[in-house]
Structure 1
Amino acid sequence: MHMRTIDSRLRQLLGAAPNSYWDEKIKSKPGPYGERILSQLVFASELSKGNAHAFDEAITATLDYVERQIAEEGVIAKRTALQAEQLLTAVAPAAKSYDILCVAHAHIDMNWMWPWDETVSVTLDTFRTMLTLMEEYPSFVFSQSQASVYRIVQQYDPLMLEEIKRRVREGRWEVTASHWVEADKNMPNGESLTRQILYTKRYLSQLLGIDPASLNLDFEPDTFGHSVFVPEILTNAGVRYYYHCRGSDGPIAYRWVAPSGNSVVCYREPTWYNDPIQPILGSYVPQICRQTGLKTHLHVYGVGDHGGGPTRRDLERLHAMNDWPIFPNIRFGRFADYYKQLESVSGTLPVVKGEQNCVFTGCYTSQSRIKTANRIGEATLQEAELFSAAAGALAGAAYPRAAYEEAWRNVLFNQFHDILPGSGVIETREHALGLFQHTMAIANTNRKLALERIAAGIDTSDLGGPDEAGTVSEGAGVGYGTQAFQITQVERGQGSTRIVHLFNPSAQNREEPVEIVLWDWNYAIRTLIVKDSDGNETAYQMLDKGFHTYWGHHYMRLLIEAKVPACGYSTYTVSLGEEEFEPFFPTDPRVDREERFVLENELLQVTFHPVFATVISMIDKTTGTELIDTARPAGLFRLIQEDPGKGMTAWWVGRYMSAASVHDQVKLVKGQRGPLRQSLNYELRFGNSAMKVAVSLDRNSPYLKYRIECDWQEIGKKGKSIPQLNFHWPLGYTSPSYTYDVPFGTVEREPLGMDVPGNSYAFGKREEKEEGGNKPSIMLVTNNKYGFRGTDDSLAVSLIRSSFDPDPYPELGNHHKIEMAVCVIGSHSTNRELTEAAYRFNHPLNVLSGTTHPGTRTKDASFLRLIEGSVALSAVKMPENPEGKRWIVRVYETDGQAAIAKLQLFKPATDAWYVDSNEIRLQTGLFIRVDGEYVCFEVPAYSAAAVCIVFE
């Protein structure tokens, strides 16, 4: 009762809303001395609550006095404030036992609501203010994150960079940038989050002359969620501390433990990271310090973006407030100062496990082209580095380190938490897609150069026929394939025998149909023969009945059954066989039969509705199991209207107001019917939009593939709705939980009626106790989507959303291309098998036209193969510091059990050792052994590990 009286009296004096006098929204104007004494009274009251109300009597007496003076004078004058402070003298020792460590920061968003040139101006103008304040206030200290802003200074104001370097040397400018940008932590893959740190530490340590080990804080104040393996990624790179604001409402200070057991010390900002100094800030201190176990409170201040960071008023206020007798000591400081204290009590901090998610679920779908750029950029760079490393070790080819770093920087920049999530304006998207074009020019070019260098050493001298005069095929196809983000399918052969090299980026052998392009084939088609490197005929299927024209050339597409070794290549030929005489029989139909729309191979039988083109049955032929809920249509495209009432439509998926099938008036036609592929094509029209869908099933394939082209013309409107295109697949079994791939692993989530992030797939896990043995389950995998929904025994993915703020038309004018697959997976399959299935879908085989020439290498070969171990391959690259023929191989354990990864190499290695994510040699107690062409090394459960392999 007594405490309620003190609180209510303080609220009345402050004019604040009930229970929120600490929210810095003082409605009255008490004047400078009124603000001074009331702020101290609030702090004293909060301090008393944590000390058995020891100071209540003094606070009550002071309130009596202040209220009397207000009644008499109408204001709180200077003498009133000073006398009130005297009445609180008994509180002073306890008050001064606390410290407020004030850390200045300027939160600078990369291209959020403005274009790149404005980001540059904001950065330079803000930093000029900070440097000026440092001249005027010798005790002022400033902290700044993100390597990208230092790159801006280096590029656009090198003289300012010299000033910053001087302040860094003085210890007054703290560099808190362990990442290129304050990145999203859900949609980038684990390799990207590793490269954020690798390239940042290398760049800043060289640029600013600082110890890379000092870059040990991951500062993510505004990031929209934090994936479960973030502590693992940070620990592997020497980052020990984490700062965030969103994604959790749990402890303020805690130790975040990854599934591997590695951990980081975290501070979750309980107030905000983007504010000016307000005298009422003392009200936070006692309660927060009770939770952290420290007598020091971290207060981050400085208005970000166009606020220009800390101001002169902020500094003057801090100096003045430090003289208040009933208030904590105030000092300027650095994040490093606070985390050093926090680490000293880390053994007593609460332990948090699991992901710190989710917030802003619309960000997994908004601005779909930016998300395509991220997925494709990551995948292409991974392959380019792999094949360049192989070309370097095999053929002594130069490894384009600087070019790859430049491309990675583009990818990393676009992973900023307002760019990749799609919560920016039109200029945000335009700049991101420009960087993507640059990335692909580097990655795709170097990928192909590496493949060509490898192919140049393959002995193909016994393949091919005589040269032909006047050939037009050689050089055809320039540029063909880049729109699908593949290497260009330019023809290098001629005549009636063509050589094709197929390259496999997976760490496992692959056997699957692959599409090749045959340019200017002026010979008989029906006598084509496709042979493998041993001269054995292999099955093929013509995908085109006629010829396509392309810039003065013509081509046709051929599907061949191919086998390609792990991280290697195979060689095939397409040639003209001998034509046997066969009498011609007319093919006119003689009998009408029932038309059935069924795709079937050795594993699956998929039946489509003859009117709506939805899937009405999917049978696993090995067990006879029906895989869908036949009471609900599967393969259903839905037009969802979301409730826009929550606002911030790019950030939030609204409540579904309606979810209507768009399978009305379907134009349905049969596609391919051959030995390697069956397909079904249909067209849909809904609202103002149109969509073409090609569904296919290949020989021995567990993937029912969907290839979608959508002319999306739906517009979201305030007060009306947010249109969304959605794909829905009901399951034919009970799914108690759903598995999603996340950076460097997987996470299992309970059914949730909201969009959640997955790097590429969602897997509906079958009830383990279900009768009938190992019946298969369903995985939904995509090539450019991140927002999945596993609930109600079904899987769904959000494909396109027409949010309308901050970009009013984010998806208009885009010809959307989407690829996804419904993949049948054994219920007892491991996470590694899920991850590999998703990897294969996102990394098709590379096709390269070959020529006849001598060489020293066989027609089929593997550079690297994973023989044993529950690990997935993340990267194969050459080290950033060039030292002979060496590879960095990074893997991560997928199934929660310590593994011995066994790799088979293309030739014997001479040595191998563990390295961290910064490629620094580690001394560990983990097992590692080199045995000729085999390298075996230990990977603890749920861990990521990297090894450096040395060749002669």
Structure 2
Amino acid sequence: MHDRRKLTEDRIARVLTERIRPKIYRAVGELSVSAWHVGGGQGEPVSPAGALGAAYEPFAVGEAWGPPWGTTWFRLTADVPAPDPAGPTELVVDLGWADHSPGFQAEGLVYRPDGSVVKGLNPRNGWIPVRPNETRVELYVEAAANPLLLEVHPFLPTQLGDKETAGDRPLYRLARADVCVRDTSVWELAADLEVLDQLMRTLPEYDGWRAELCLGLDRALDAVDLSDVPGSASAARELLAPLLARRSAEGAHRISAVGHAHIDSAWLWPVRETVRKVARTTANVTHLLDEHPELVYAMSSAQQYEWLEQQRPEVFRRLAEQVRAGRFLPTGGMWVESDTNMVGGEAMVRQFVMGQGYFREKFGITCREVWLPDSFGYSAALPQIARQAGCTHFLTQKISWNQQNVFPHHTFWWEGIDGTRVFTHFPPVDTYTAELTGRELAHAATNFRDKGATNLSLVPFGYGDGGGGPTREMLQHATRTRDLEGSPRVAIESPAQFFERAQAAYPDAPVWAGELYLELHRGTYTSQARTKEGNRRSEHLLREAELWATTAAVRGLADYPVAELRRIWKTVLLQQFHDILPGSSIAWVHREAAENYARVEAELEALIADRLALLAGTGSDTVTFNATPFDGGAPSLGGAVLPSPAEAVRIERGDDAVVLDNGVLRVVVDAAGTVVSLVDLATGRDVIPHGERANLLQLHQDFPNKWDAWDLDEFYRHTRTDLTETDELDAQRTDDGDVEIAVRRSFGSSEVLQRMRLSPGCRQLDCTVEVDWHERERVLKVAVPIDVHTTQAAFETQFGHVMRPTHTNTSWDAARFEVCAHRFVHVAERGFGAAVVNSATYGHEVTRHEAPGGGTWSTVRLSLLRAPRFPDPETDQGRHVRRYAIVVAPDVADAVAAGYRINLPPRQASGSAVEPLLRVGGPGTVAIEAMKLAEDGSGDVIVRLYEPLGARANVTLEPAFEHSGVRQVDLLEDGIAPDGLTTTDGRIQLLLRPFQLVTVRFIRG
């Protein structure tokens, strides 16, 4: 039986490939082709209005076109022959594609002479419909010559990733341009054979149904006359019909198939090309929706809808019609499918505020599902944020990429750091670009880990990453597997229908508490350091700008800059997309990101300076503006803080060391320029273990097995070079009373200047690394050994922190050898601890070491720079500045405050003292994350705060402005039942749970 089955499989494969599929289309005429190359083929895209009237020149099939990233417009004309009873007349165009990777190479969008859009073209979707009774066609194809960067080897360095380095050699040749008849019988026969053949291949050897399929397929192939496939297709289909009519078992796995096209907002193409990808895919989808009433389609990312609305309004109108019909489904509720590891707390909130706000405004829809199939791990803060943004369900499949550990569930409740839960599903099909093949459906059923308790799963189908979406061939498969013996039952339906049914069927699903850590792509916490620095700086500048703009607006000094802030937020949120902020895009993307961040910084700095000047007003005092939530340990926001005097830092110079003493810390720096002692004078404890070195730069070879910019494989640790050779070491007193030690080093092709600064009265050593980086396939880390005995460390995330084990007891613990943290990492034992805080670093690790006399100590390491060569061969080459600090921090509260301080240094202006807009009192600790005016333009003041320590907090709010009422609201600023907020006789009190996030609205109308 095995030999016979193999013979049948091989026979089907060859007959389909060489005889049946080639006969689906029968050429009945040639298209006349002419072309206009935008800017000689190298110009940026132009509008349809600018292209349709251009001067086109004759162009022949076989001619070359398309320098990298160029655009060519093809004009296609032909007379249409009389209708053919065999099937519809269609145009077939091949732009010169490889027969794979739809969305990753040349693509086209088809227009009519009036500028209306027909549909998109890609390697699996090269047909164009001809209208009924149309006797002559005239169409235009906007063809994009996007390089196929994954064609030869996915990780070889390439200059094609930036238009500035890609050259001008044409990449494609027009391969086909015909008027054809699509033979319906042959097309349907191909689908019959594909579905049954794929099903047969998935069934066990002993299965009798498999043997019947094998026999039936053989008989159908016998009925196919290979010299006259069209004439014999119907007879073959009749033999297959009884097989396709066999019904599935009652308990068969049930699949909710959702039309989808995960479109990366940038990746192996620039943002400007994504705009066109979205238009091409949406045009395909709306055409399919018109022709196939069973199809529904889900699309996330409000940013992509806005692109269509602004740049392809005709396509957007078609989309909006289908939204109103309930078949084109906005989902996700976010501005883009962002990274969730590195995005700051308020920025994560704004992903939903902006996304949900757009969907509400344009369509009257509040999305209920968070839709993040491809982000690189998921923060433990996300459940609370999602629920407060109106979402009750969460979907991803990326955790199926884990290298070490198989996630135990596909359907479960996910619990965040504060205890909030969302109902979550990982599609067991293990892809977000399914084609509804038999192999995929079988894998979804057999892989599903919650069998017995439930039999429901979701499959997103359609070409994605680079777009394309569902095809009519995929719908053929869905129709045939709706109720077919041996196959899961496939029903095309919406995500909401799936989640409603799944939650009802499995209300007692298991609970997974904490982050959803992806055991892969750990290098994304570090790659493209400038992008990460721009993100962190932009987030904190936006915090300052909104705070001071709100203060000035409430006090009647200036209007609130609504449009300006909204525009800037959109830029920052777009660049948090999960292939931009993680550093995994081509050079073009990151070059533009740097330009965008520079523009954002300049605009926000100007706005902040303007509002501070207005607030300070007249006067000759020096006013220090503090934008952190903390002032000397007392929570406040918007206050004027004056520096307190402290004794000068003392310097002792020796032959082998420099000793700094500010009365709080005593720091010893050895001749190698590393910190060998950092004593907390209040306790006498040395932060640095005896014999160890802190602020030690370390260099590792970094050549992962795959996914260069993405991965940091564990074996990078096997080789290490400590950078202890010095070119120069000097200690100087600065004008402001600090003492700074400067150490110059050179290594490889790079140079570095390390600065260590101790300020009067401070409990931290501030460190700066200025590096001219020219290494390749290396990772640069800095090590800080800390003499505390602990098995865990606190890593800041959005609105709190996660406690991660620092031991490797289990494979799950060991897999977290590189993790994400925001502004701080804190390690401590009872009564004593230390933190390492940073201004732009996300990649961290904490390891444990045995102490010679007993006990353990830990090393915190920050990943400063990498140098992968794909997809950007020049990743991070050049100059960088990294700032961090070693902080004596007995409690995590000290780490929280220090993390804010290094990212929000005080600002000074001349004028008079400024009263804070809001003060926080009471015994508890809260951090105010944002103060802004309400999204609805009412002028109400929105205050967002959270409990940062993982403890209960009882605090009071004391606003210094007139207001007529106080309401607790969700993140979308809709009123909710009070959850910890009480007001009694004008006293506003908050009782918060550990890590609880609260938004308060002060009504001013």
1:725-766 CA distance string (max 9 Å, x none):
110111223231111001111011112572100012211233
Residues 468-505 of structure 1: CA deviation (Å, up to 9, x unaligned): xxxxxxxxxxxxxxxxxxxxxxxxxxxxxxx4321011
Match of 1:636 among 683, 690, 696: 696
Please say if residues 689 and 711 of structure 1, whose CA atoms lie closer than 8 Å, have aligned partners that are also in contact. yes
Is the Cα–Cα contact under 8 Å of residues 257 and 461 in structure 2 kept in the other structure? yes
TM-score norm. by structure 1 comes to: 0.77
**Structure-to-structure mapping, 1:398-797, within 5 angstroms:** 398-456=559-617, 460=619, 463=620, 499-510=621-632, 566-570=637-641, 596-610=657-671, 612-653=672-713, 655-656=715-716, 657-672=718-733, 676-714=737-775, 716=776, 722-751=777-806, 754-766=817-829, 768=830, 774=831, 776-792=832-848, 793-797=858-862
Are the aligned partners of 2:346 and 2:930 in contact in 1 as well (CA < 8 Å)? Answer: yes
Cα pair 2:526 2:843 within 8 Å, conserved: yes
- Counterpart residue identity of residue 210, structure 1: G
Match of 1:900 among 948, 954, 959: 954
State the partner residue of 1:864. 918
The TM-score with structure 2 as length reference comes to 0.73
| 1:896 to partner: Cα distance | 3.1
1:275 has 2:434 as partner: yes
Which amino acid counterpart does residue 391 of structure 1 have in structure 2?
Answer: A
Does the aligned pair in 1 maintain the 2:252–2:487 contact within 8 Å?
no
| Aligned mates of 2:875, 2:244 — CA distance in 1 | 58
* Per-residue deviation, 1:67: 10
Q: 1:370 to 1:392 in 2, by over 3 A?
A: same
- Partner residue, 1:808: 873
Q: Which structure has more RCO (C-alpha within 8 Å, separation ≥ 6)?
A: 1
Give the match for residue 966 of structure 2: 912
- In the alignment, the residues of structure 1 paired with residue 632 and residue 483 of structure 2 have an alpha-carbon distance, to the nearest angstrom, of 72
Q: How does 1:128-277 map to 2 (within 5 A)?
A: 128-206=283-361, 208-211=362-365, 213=366, 215-247=367-399, 249-270=407-428, 271-277=430-436
8 Å contact from structure 1 (residues 728, 796) kept in 2 = yes
CA contact (8 A) 2:259 2:460 kept: yes
1:85 CA displacement:
8.5
Counterparts of 1:311 and 1:570, CA distance in 2:
62
By how many angstroms is 1:294 displaced? 4.4
Q: How many residues align?
A: 790
Please give the alpha-carbon distance, in whole angstroms, between the structure 2 residues aligned to 1:410 and 1:146.
14
Distance 2:8 2:861 in 1: 54
Letter in 2 for 1:567: G
- Once residues 678 and 488 of structure 2 are traced to their aligned partners in structure 1, the CA distance between those partners, rounded to angstroms, is 68
For 1:36-75, what aligned pairs fall within 5 Å after superposition? Answer: 36-41=195-200, 58-59=208-209, 62=212
- Contact kept, 8 Å, 2:742 with 2:753, in 1: the verdict is yes
Aligned partners of 2:368 and 2:421: how far apart in 1? 13
Q: What's 2:61 paired with?
A: none
What residue number does 2:152 align with?
none
CA contact (8 A) 1:902 1:936 kept: yes
Counterpart in the other structure of 2:478: 318
Residue identity in the other structure for 1:824: V
Alpha-carbon distance between aligned partners in 1 of 2:564 and 2:497, rounded to the nearest angstrom: 37
Q: Which amino acid aligns with 1:866?
A: V
- Measure, in 2, the Cα distance between the counterparts of 1:57 and 1:109: 41
Task: Provide the C-alpha distance between the structure 2 equivalents of 1:369 and 1:88, rounded to a whole number of angstroms.
Answer: 56
Counterparts of 1:910 and 1:370, CA distance in 2: 43
Cα distance between partner residues in 1 of 2:950 and 2:893: 10
Task: Give the 3 Å change call, closer, same or farther, for CA 914–566 of structure 1 in structure 2.
Answer: closer
Q: Deviations over 1:326-374 (max 9, x none)?
A: 5454433211111121221341212111100033100000000000011
- Say whether residues 1:836 and 2:897 are aligned partners: yes
Of 966, 983, 991 in structure 2, the residue corresponding to residue 929 of structure 1 is 983
How has the CA–CA distance of structure 1 residues 643 and 61 changed in structure 2, closer, same or farther, with 3 Å as cutoff? Answer: closer
Q: Secondary structure at the match of 2:286?
A: helix
1:65 Cα deviation after fit:
5.4
CA distance in 2, matches of 1:412, 1:316: 38
The answer for the alignment partner of 2:929 in structure 1 is 874
CA distance in 2 between counterparts of 1:244 and 1:228 reads 14
**What amino acid maps onto 1:929 in structure 2?**
T
Aligned equivalents of 2:840 and 2:978: distance in 1? 38
The one-character-per-residue Cα deviations of 1:675-713 (angstroms, maximum 9, x if unpaired) are: 842221111111111111221111111110012211111
Q: Which amino acid aligns with 1:790?
A: V
Q: Could you say if the C-alpha distance between residues 725 and 12 of structure 1 is closer, same or farther in structure 2, counting changes exceeding 3 Å?
A: farther
* In 2, Cα distance between equivalents of 1:95 and 1:566: 62
Measured in 2, the distance between the counterparts of 1:839 and 1:391 equals 23
Partner Cα distance (1:82, 1:348) in 2: 47
Distance of aligned partners of 1:296 and 1:565 in 2 relative to their CA distance in 1, 3 Å threshold = closer
TM-superposed deviation, 1:655: 2.1
Question: Cα distance, 1:897 vs. partner?
Answer: 3.3
Give the superposition deviation at 1:798.
0.6
In structure 1, the residue corresponding to 2:249 is in which secondary structure? Answer: helix
Q: Give me the whole-angstrom Cα distance separating, in 2, the residues matched to 1:166 and 1:32.
A: 31
Whole-Å separation in 2 of the counterparts to 1:592 and 1:287: 70
Gaps of 5+ in 1: 17-23, 25-29, 47-55, 464-498, 512-562, 575-590, 717-721, 769-773, 851-857
C-alpha distance in 1, partners of 2:197/2:653?
92
Q: C-alpha deviations, 1:297-329, integer Å up to 9, x for none?
A: 422111114351112222233334447565454
Tell me the distance in 1 between the aligned counterparts of 2:568 and 2:670: 46
Of residues 553, 557, 564, the one that matches 1:392 is: 553
Residue in structure 2 matched with residue 820 of structure 1 by the alignment? 884
Contact kept in structure 2, 1:915 and 1:946, CA below 8 Å? yes
- Provide the secondary structure at the position in 2 that maps to 1:94: coil
- Residue 376 of structure 1: which of 528, 533, 537 is its match? 537
Deviations 1:105-162 (A, max 9, x none): 1111112111222111111111111122222223222211111111110121112211
> For residue 413 of structure 1, what is the amino acid of its counterpart?
L
Change (3 A) 1:296 1:740: closer
Match of 1:854 in 2: none
| Structure 1 position 419, deviation (Å) | 0.3
CA distance in structure 2 between the aligned counterparts of 1:930 and 1:949, rounded to whole angstroms:
15
Q: In structure 1, the residue corresponding to 2:691 is in which secondary structure?
A: coil
Residues 788 and 828 in structure 2, CA contact (< 8 A), matched pair in contact too: no
Is 1:109 aligned to residue 264 of structure 2? yes
**Aligned partner (choices 499, 517, 527) of residue 339 of structure 1:** 499
**37 and 82 in structure 1: CA distance in 2 versus 1, 3 angstrom threshold:** farther
Secondary structure of residue in 1 paired with 2:305: helix
Identify if the C-alpha distance between structure 1 residues 644 and 298 changes in structure 2 by more than 3 Å, giving closer, same or farther.
closer
Give the conservation status (yes or no) of the 8 Å contact 1:692–1:709.
yes
**Hey, what's the Cα distance between the residues in 1 that align with 2:654 and 2:292?**
90
Do 1:106 and 1:126's aligned partners in 2 also have CA atoms closer than 8 Å? yes
CA-based RMSD: 3.5
Asked if the contact 2:219–2:239 (Cα under 8 Å) also holds between the matched residues in 1, the reply is no
Residue pair 1:255, 1:266 contacting (<8 A) in 2 also: yes
